[in-house]
Homo-oligomer: A and B are copies of this chain.
Amino acid sequence: MNNFSLYNPVKIHFGEGQIKQLSTEIPKDAKVLISYGGGSIKANAVYQQVIDALQGHAYIEFSGIEPNPEYETCMKAVALIKKEKIDFVLAVGGGSIIDATKFIVAAVDYEGKDPWDILAKGAEVTSAIPYGTVLTLPATGSEMNAGSVISRREFGDKLAFDSPHVFPKFSILDPVTTYTLPIRQVTNGIVDAFVHVMEQYLTYPANAPIQDRFAEGILLTLIEEGPKALENPKDYDARANIMWCATMALNGLINQGVPQDWATHMIGHELTAMYGLDHAQTLAIVLPNIINYKRDKKEAKLLQYAERVWNITKGNTNERIDAAIEKTRAFFEAMGAKTKLSGYDVDTSKLPDIVSALERHNMVALGEHKDIAISDSKKILEMCI
């Protein structure tokens, strides 16, 4: 096991009815900004539950945060917070709303000239105003981590930052809030969580059996519970287990002391920035091809994955690995995700542009061995068509 440092102070309130905890978790004297997206929280009961729990608090709202949240949108919220002297932000929504809120609370306190530098130049975040979240879309794990991804369409950029200053003070996870999600978002959430786990697990053995088994435990649970949620959207336990899977998949636990391979995310980000694919749609396409392309260096873990997650114990090494990759792809398809770029009208003519973007963003040495060069990414993308 490699050395590691672990710190995660996010308080989680999990379960039906937990939104009422807002009344005590947010300081009484705080002036609150509620940040949210396109208004789906008003179509279900979430918005009303939040407002009810905030009785006695002063609050205003900022809506319109889009999927793959946009820098310009975030900066409008920053201006509003400064103008209205907001003390606390409450993000209500999925990973995009929470990621945007992380950047907003950091940018409000940023003392440099241009908050864009936090994303583009890795400028250090030294403080942020406090915030909490009400999660309505289990997928990204953003509700229990300190990372954020922000897009700037004018530049074709999708960039990440992280800082211990942007952990949520609390996150409320009520599985009932996910009953009314569109199927596409349920699919995306399951795929996103699954791929997050794979990127922290499917590398090479590091003598870290707990981390391996926790990762396998999340994968097995997603495989069991995903179909139940699609079949019966009001299956509380399936929704609860998927929600907890998504949080545990990226809250900084299973990656401790082990190598990681975020190549799928890095390549996927370009596809989202350039062609508007949903984040998880890109992951379902790229991941199977990356583990196929790197099957030699990932052999030991691929065999372990084949056996422990898919119960594949017959055949030679190549046959087992083929079967495991095929099972992975079939799972994504069964969850409703396409696994080919051609399914989204992205054909080989687009490859040079994608490769250029990877180069421009310095994605020249990806993977756990930093051995996925631009030429490798090009080959992987060809396999994705």
Question: Which residues of A are at the interface with B, using a C-beta cutoff of 8 A?
Answer: 1-18, 21, 207-210, 212-214, 216-218, 220-221, 224-225, 237, 240-241, 244-245, 248, 253, 256-257
Residue of B nearest to A167 (CB): B9
Q: Are A15 and B257 in contact (CB under 8 A)?
A: yes
Given the known interface contacts A210-B244, A213-B221, A220-B209, the answer about A14 and B3 at a Cβ–Cβ threshold of 8 Å is yes
With A4-B15, A15-B257 known to touch, is A217 a contact of B207 (CB < 8 Å)? no
Q: Which residues of B contact A9 (CB under 8 A)?
A: 7-9
Does A210 contact B15, Cβ atoms closer than 8 Å?
no
Residue of B nearest to A164 (CB): B11
Residues of B within 8 A of A256 (CB): 14
A214 to B14, CA, bound (A): 18
Q: Which 9 A-B pairs have the closest CB atoms?
A: A3-B15, A213-B217, A9-B9, A7-B11, A207-B237, A6-B12, A209-B221, A1-B240, A5-B13
The answer on a CB contact under 8 Å between A11 and B6 is yes
Interfacial chain B residues near A3, Cβ < 8 Å: 13-18
The answer on a CB contact under 8 Å between B241 and A209 is: yes
Whether A245 lies near B210 (C-beta < 8 A) is yes
Most B CB within 10 A of own CB, among A5, A7, A210:
A210
User: Shortest beta-carbon distance, A14 to chain B, in Å?
Assistant: 5
By a CB distance below 8 angstroms, the chain B residues around A221 are: 209-210, 213
Shortest distance from the beta carbon of A13 to any chain B beta carbon, whole Å: 5
Q: Which of A214, A253, A256, A257 has the most CB of B within 10 A?
A: A214
**Interface pair A5/B11, CB less than 8 Å apart:** yes
Q: Which residues of B contact A213 (CB under 8 A)?
A: 213-214, 216-218, 220-221
Q: List 19 A-B contacts (CB under 8 A).
A: A1-B14, A1-B244, A2-B15, A3-B13, A3-B16, A4-B14, A6-B11, A6-B12, A7-B11, A8-B9, A207-B241, A210-B217, A210-B245, A212-B217, A213-B214, A213-B217, A214-B214, A217-B217, A244-B257
With A4-B12, A5-B11, A209-B225 already in contact, 6 other A-B pairs whose C-beta atoms are closer than 8 Å: A1-B14, A1-B15, A1-B241, A7-B10, A210-B217, A210-B244
Closest-by-CB residue of B relative to A248 is B210
A220 to B257 Cα, complex, angstroms = 19
- C-alpha gap A220/B217 in the complex (Å): 13
A5's contact among B5, B14, B16, by CB below 8 Å, is which?
B14
CB contacts (< 8 Å) of A13 on chain B: these are 3, 5
Once the chains are docked, how many angstroms separate the CA of A207 from the CA of B243? 13
**What residues of chain B lie closer than 8 Å to A209, measured between beta carbons?**
217, 220-221, 224-225, 241
Are the CB atoms of B1 and A12 closer together than 8 Å?
Answer: no
**Distance to closest chain B CB from A212 (angstroms):** 8
Contacts of A15 in B (CB 8 A): 1-4, 257
A10 / chain B contacts, CB cutoff of 8 Å: 7
**A253 / chain B contacts, CB cutoff of 8 Å:** 253
